[in-house]
Structure 1
Amino acid sequence: MSLLDGRVTLVSGGTQGVGAGIARAAVREGACVVVTGRRRDVGERLAAEIGATYVLTDLSDVESARASAAAVVDRYGRIDCLVNAAGLTARGSLLDTTVELFDRHMAVNLRAPFFLMQAAVRDMLRRAEPGTILNIISVSELGGQPYLAPYVAAKSGLAGLTRNAAYAHRFDRIRINGLDIGWTDTEGEDVVQRAYHDAGDDWREQAAKRLPMGRLARVDEIADFAVFLLSARSGVVTGSVIDWDQQVIGGMD
């Protein structure tokens, strides 16, 4: 039997990057997958490619986020697994972040996951059935770079929310965990490196020289671990925010 055989799985922000990788892995493991995102052409193309369903969603709009969860329940009758994979990474320091940029980070990186978790947990409680939720966070939530101040604030909040919700619903057999992922090779990261850091075509090779394992993390590796955490194979684990990175947080020379 596949790890997610027949499980209805909503991957929020699942049309590209890590989210798309998790969607692919979940389909491969037998899940019935719904992906959401703002770009209809990208979402529909991915859904057709992997055998998933696409729901147009703007996570900066809380009602749109809620509607995506409702659409899954309307179509499939339930949500068994939720993955919050969207992540706005627009740069801003403590000194130059505007109110508008701060609010965008909070809306996409914290508010949308909060209310999607609320919707998923309500559905699980309505059916008196167990479920699993995985939040894709970031090692930056532990401190991060100076130019990621609003991102760090939002992702730190998501890490705390992960633990709080897991504790609140542990006796409902709803397992909620998070992954603090590190530097990963994605389409979005390529755009960010070129837009914000004047990176050239060889930025991956240059980055690899500075990393312990000699390369960036890969989406498929994170996706396989995400599927494991969503599945019964991960046992009773809940409330864990796991550092998924090649750097050792707190280690120093």
Structure 2
Amino acid sequence: MNHEHTRAVVTGGAQGVGFAIAEQLIDEGCRHIVLAGRDIAKGARAVEKLSRDDRVVHFEPIDLRNVDACTRLIETAIEKLGYLNGLVNAAALGARGTLLDTSVELWDAMFETNARAPFFLMQRFVQHRKDSGGGGSIVNILSQNVHCGQSYLTSYSASKGALATLTKNVANAHRFDRIRCNAILPGWMDTPGEDATQRMYHGATDGWLERAEQKQPMGQLAKPAQLAGLASYMLNEQSGVMTGAIVDYDQNVPGSYPE
């Protein structure tokens, strides 16, 4: 892909999937990008890793539960980059909670982070693109949990399901503006966030990744750098008229059963 003319915002861009997508865009010629996330130290390290040659990389700290902050992020990115034509919503809250033990506070935090924040980020991005004559691309990072999800991921699955419907709605509403909106549904991934989650919620110990990968059909968990190529394609004009697509990215096939 050639991303010489891409100017994008990537939420969750300091690590994991968001960082991998940002790195892919930089490697493919993107010279202007804004990363957004909660951790300022991680953001600084990400900027240092991605700043090369004539690449202009910014990091903006953000609390995605603050709607005004979401709007300001897009405004700030436009001011710093001149214009935007790409948005990647990769940040998410992945806390655990079943139907019976999910609190109101957890439910609200999940939907505010995983559904409401992308909504208002897309709202301001789409308005900017319409004001600029149309065009542009949005990629939302969802999850295989859209199809159902484990019992302890009830509110998470619901929030990602909401974003899946929102992806299609935005794609349909703004196709005549030539603004495309697509989504990727990763399965189990090897990310720093997943390592922390496994240790925090599931008592995982050193070596858990290797043990888990031995049991997978393809001998690995999905890797962010592999997924990043698909996101790059969706953001690029070479993906043509592709919009409203909800693409599974996993080695297990939804709806399949043991033989």
Hey, what's the Cα distance between the residues in 1 that align with 2:48 and 2:215? Answer: 38
For residue 40 of structure 1, what is the aligned residue in structure 2?
A: 40
Which letter does structure 2 place at the counterpart of 1:160?
T
For residue 17 of structure 2, what is the aligned residue in structure 1?
A: 18
Q: How far has the Cα of 1:116 moved from its partner? A: 0.4
Hey, what's the Cα distance between the residues in 1 that align with 2:193 and 2:117? Answer: 20
* Maintained 8 Å contact 2:33/2:81: no
Hey, what's the Cα distance between the residues in 2 that align with 1:97 and 1:191? Answer: 20
| Residue 144 of structure 2 is aligned to residue 139 of structure 1 | yes
Q: How far has the Cα of 1:64 moved from its partner? A: 1.0
- What is the CA deviation profile of residues 200-236 of structure 1, one whole-angstrom value per residue up to 9, with x for unaligned ones? 1121122113211011011100111111110012121
Hey, what's the Cα distance between the residues in 2 that align with 1:66 and 1:147? Answer: 32
Hey, what's the Cα distance between the residues in 2 that align with 1:30 and 1:56? Answer: 25
Query: 5+ unaligned residues in a row in structure 2: which ranges?
Result: 52-56
| Residue 238 of structure 2 is aligned to residue 233 of structure 1 | yes
Hey, what's the Cα distance between the residues in 1 that align with 2:137 and 2:176? Answer: 13
Q: Which runs of 4+ in 1 moved over 6 A?
A: none
Q: Return the match for 1:246 from 234, 239, 251.
A: 251
Identity of aligned residues (%): 43
Which letter does structure 1 place at the counterpart of 2:10?
V
* Maintained 8 Å contact 1:66/1:119: yes
Hey, what's the Cα distance between the residues in 2 that align with 1:74 and 1:244? Answer: 34
Which letter does structure 2 place at the counterpart of 1:191?
A
Q: Return the match for 2:87 from 82, 85, 98.
A: 82
Q: Return the match for 1:204 from 205, 209, 215.
A: 209
For residue 227 of structure 2, what is the aligned residue in structure 1?
A: 222
Q: How far has the Cα of 1:37 moved from its partner? A: 0.7
Which letter does structure 2 place at the counterpart of 1:17?
G
* Maintained 8 Å contact 1:3/1:227: no
* Maintained 8 Å contact 1:3/1:232: no
- What is the CA deviation profile of residues 90-127 of structure 1, one whole-angstrom value per residue up to 9, with x for unaligned ones? 10000000011111101110010000000110000001
For residue 27 of structure 2, what is the aligned residue in structure 1?
A: 28
For residue 177 of structure 1, what is the aligned residue in structure 2?
A: 182
* Maintained 8 Å contact 1:3/1:228: no
What RMSD, in angstroms, separates the aligned Cα atoms of the two structures? 1.0
Give secondary structure in 2 for the equivalent of 1:184: coil
Hey, what's the Cα distance between the residues in 2 that align with 1:152 and 1:202? Answer: 27
TM-score (norm 2): 0.95
Give secondary structure in 1 for the equivalent of 2:72: helix
TM-score (norm 1): 0.97
For residue 128 of structure 2, what is the aligned residue in structure 1?
A: 123
* Maintained 8 Å contact 2:64/2:112: yes
Q: How far has the Cα of 1:36 moved from its partner? A: 0.3
Hey, what's the Cα distance between the residues in 2 that align with 1:3 and 1:133? Answer: 17
Hey, what's the Cα distance between the residues in 2 that align with 1:70 and 1:232? Answer: 24
